[in-house]
A and B are shown apart, each in its own frame.
Chain A
Amino acid sequence: MKQTDVFRWVSVVPVNLWLWLWVLLPTLMLVAVSFATREPEDLIEWTLTFDNYARLSDSLYITVFWDSLWLAGITALLCLAAGFPFAWWLTRLQPRWRALALFLIIIPFWTNSLIRTYAIKLILGKQGIINNVLLGIGVIDAPLDMLYTPGAVICGLVYILFPFMVLPLYSNLEKLDQSLLEAARDLGASRLQVLRKIVIPLTMPGIVAGVLIVFLPAMGMFYIADLLGGAKNLLLGNIIKNQFLSSMDWPFGSAISIAMIVLMGLLMLAYFQAAKRINRSGGIHDSTL
């Protein structure tokens, strides 16, 4: 075997085997179970049914899906809005400080998220730090109700997921060629033009990666939302977990999971198609620059 082939084999085969064994196989099981019937004591009875999917058309699940999508979307957007300039700043640091700054970002996240959430509760609470400070300097007369609101949930989700946006963005922005930007400026492009026509198109893979890494996991997250938001709304994660752990309705839980994966997949595809079309009509290849 030639060396090229050896390396090709090494990079293609082990990952694929790993994914088949630990992802494909469980997914196939999941699909199979989603067409089975619930059995109270043995969990699953292998009688083919489509009921599990039919049940999904209930408006309840559509509401829940929409709520989860909305929450994950806002979280990803906010992470991007703060994460992009921040990652940009990181890449502009002298190389010797970059590693330090990178670590400073990630270190808080090595503390268990449950106790970090408790800390956030202490900050947002009625007698929490923010209220005390605001009352102290006389900005407000009565404590604000911040805990157990959608705002608190978003604050918490952004907090938990922020580095998942910054790190991929950073590793992508880092390779951006400075001379390209300077050249554009020399040619008379405004800062905004440079950003829109060069920086964003060139770092699109990083943006997409960051958004994926924040958005997809946020769809299933519910623990933090429950603690900070008071669990008054159901999220997809709650419903799926309940089907598996308390109702013991595995077929239905599987059907919800599959439906969620498929729907999100379709959304992604639609997005990429649209992005491709936009890219063709603009971006770096645009001759107007």
Chain B
Amino acid sequence: MNMKKWWIALTLAGVSTLATAGEQVIVYNWSEYIPEDTLQKFKKETGIEVVYSTYESNETLYTKLKLMKGAGYDVVVPSTYYVSKMKKEGLLQKVDKAKLDNFKNLDPDLLNKPFDPNNDYSVPYLWGSTGIGINVRDIPEDSISGWQDFWNPKFKNQILLTDDVREVFHMALRIKGHSANTTDEAHIKEAYEYLKELMPNVRVFNSDAPGEPFLTGDVSLGMIWNGSVVQAQEDNTDIQYLYPKEGAVFWMDSFVIPAGAKNVENAHKFINYMLKAEVAKDCVDYVGYATPNKAGKALLDDETASNPTIFPDKETLDAGEFHNDVGDAVLIYDKYWQLLKAGK
């Protein structure tokens, strides 16, 4: 009897994933990237249940969707250039903007980015930057102005870099006056040669949220995400954020609808809901990154809305760069990245 119950429970567990009772939309996103409250309210308002599934890296998201030929999920939130990559490979479908009344809420400065020039396929959700983090207790803030300062020999074995090939090469490429989206091997090689000189200063390539090593005092200078600084400041206001003069790395997470989505109608309803001003405000309060939603930003309290760490001015934005898909040049980047790490 007991055995039998066990099996019934098991079978149910298996079947429950197949059961499609009622209206739903399957969202594939980072964990805790949308407030639970918002999902509940969406259900109350539309009767559509959000099935929230999570991934741990853009690479996993992309590869999984690629293998499943764009089926299985209704709304996905890839970062920056993964949009153009997926679009190019036919993994996405066009977003019907006629169904998105709230699209007008978005800031035109943050639309039409190179990874999706007309926003035909993607709707921005949150955006942020990778810049310089400083613990001003250890390093005077005015002694640092750009990426270039990382190369100063006095920072031997002290710098934190993100464990991301494009972001690390971004620094050297910008210092050398190239675009961070270059596909020219000569430029990449030049950057590599320059980065090699930086290696003695590197203490850690950080592969998770970069705020923690700053908080624990293990590093005082390095690359950091602006959202991590906002979080870290709750605990330690000595940790400051700086937009490097050579230009920061900007990224944007956007809603897209995979080509094989089953609930396309609901996906549009969901995206439209997320574009509401109040919802966008809630998301910023919860996550700590910037919203591209102008109407939503207007609802934020002054302290947040005028915090340059979260919302840089237009000049800073123009000085930086959004990464774009580099196509096959990714092999060149990877080659030099491996050489860099292997110390060759």
Check whether chain A touches chain B (CB < 8 angstroms): yes
By a beta-carbon cutoff of 8 Å, the part of chain A in contact with chain B is 40-41, 43, 59-60, 63-64, 118, 121-122, 125-128, 147-148, 223, 226-227, 230-234, 239, 242, 244-249
Q: Among B62, B163, B338, which residue has the most Cβ atoms of chain A within 10 A?
A: B338
Query: Is the pair A41, B216 in contact by a Cβ cutoff of 8 Å?
Result: no
Query: Is the pair B338, A234 in contact by a Cβ cutoff of 8 Å?
Result: yes
Q: Among A122, A148, A239, which residue has the most Cβ atoms of chain B within 10 A?
A: A148
Q: Residues of B contacting A239 with CB < 8 Å? A: 338
Q: Residues of B contacting A64 with CB < 8 Å? A: 342
Q: Which residue of chain B has the shortest Cβ distance to A131 in the bound complex?
A: B217
Tell yes or no: B262 within 8 A of A by CB: no
Q: Identify A233's interface contact among B88, B206, B330, B341, CB under 8 A.
A: B341
Tell yes or no: B208 within 8 A of A by CB: yes
Query: Is the pair A40, B342 in contact by a Cβ cutoff of 8 Å?
Result: no
- Min CB gap B228→A, angstroms: 15
Query: Is the pair A226, B218 in contact by a Cβ cutoff of 8 Å?
Result: no
Tell yes or no: B334 within 8 A of A by CB: yes
**How long is the Cα–Cα vector from A41 to B88 in the complex, in angstroms?**
9
- Min CB gap B57→A, angstroms: 8
**How long is the Cα–Cα vector from A245 to B85 in the complex, in angstroms?**
13
Q: 1/0 per residue B167-210: CB within 8 Å of A?
A: 00000000000000000000000000000000000111111100
Query: Is the pair B202, A232 in contact by a Cβ cutoff of 8 Å?
Result: yes
Tell yes or no: B302 within 8 A of A by CB: no
Q: Which residue of chain A has the shortest Cβ distance to B334 in the bound complex?
A: A247
By a beta-carbon cutoff of 8 Å, the part of chain B in contact with chain A is 57, 59-60, 62-63, 66, 88-89, 163, 165, 202-208, 212, 216-218, 327-328, 330-331, 334, 338-339, 341-342, 344
What are 20 A-B pairs with beta-carbon distances under 8 A?
A59-B344, A60-B338, A60-B342, A60-B344, A63-B344, A121-B216, A148-B203, A226-B163, A227-B207, A227-B208, A230-B203, A230-B206, A231-B163, A232-B205, A232-B341, A234-B342, A239-B338, A245-B57, A248-B63, A249-B331
Query: Is the pair A127, B217 in contact by a Cβ cutoff of 8 Å?
Result: yes
Q: Which residue of chain A has the shortest Cβ distance to B344 in the bound complex?
A: A60
Q: Residues of B contacting A242 with CB < 8 Å? A: 334
Q: Identify B216's interface contact among A59, A126, A232, CB under 8 A.
A: A126
**How long is the Cα–Cα vector from A226 to B338 in the complex, in angstroms?**
14
- Min CB gap B203→A, angstroms: 6
- Min CB gap B31→A, angstroms: 12
Q: Identify B327's interface contact among A40, A43, A118, A246, CB under 8 A.
A: A40
Query: Is the pair B63, A244 in contact by a Cβ cutoff of 8 Å?
Result: yes
Query: Is the pair B218, A246 in contact by a Cβ cutoff of 8 Å?
Result: no
- Min CB gap B210→A, angstroms: 12
Q: Which residue of chain A has the shortest Cβ distance to B57 in the bound complex?
A: A245
Known: A227-B207, A246-B59. A127 touches B216 (CB 8 A): yes
- Min CB gap B132→A, angstroms: 18
Query: Is the pair A230, B205 in contact by a Cβ cutoff of 8 Å?
Result: yes
Known: A232-B204, A247-B330, A247-B331. A125 touches B218 (CB 8 A): yes
**How long is the Cα–Cα vector from A247 to B204 in the complex, in angstroms?**
23
- Min CB gap B211→A, angstroms: 13
- Min CB gap A37→B, angstroms: 13
Q: Residues of A contacting B63 with CB < 8 Å? A: 244-245, 248
Query: Is the pair A40, B216 in contact by a Cβ cutoff of 8 Å?
Result: no
Q: Residues of A contacting B205 with CB < 8 Å? A: 226, 230-232
Q: Residues of B contacting A246 with CB < 8 Å? A: 59, 165, 330, 334
Q: Residues of A contacting B62 with CB < 8 Å? A: 245
Assuming A121-B216, A231-B206, what are 6 further A-B pairs, CB within 8 angstroms?
Answer: A63-B342, A126-B217, A127-B217, A128-B216, A226-B163, A247-B330
- Min CB gap A289→B, angstroms: 50
**How long is the Cα–Cα vector from A60 to B339 in the complex, in angstroms?**
7
Q: Residues of A contacting B341 with CB < 8 Å? A: 231-234
Q: Residues of A contacting B212 with CB < 8 Å? A: 118, 121
Q: Residues of B contacting A128 with CB < 8 Å? A: 216
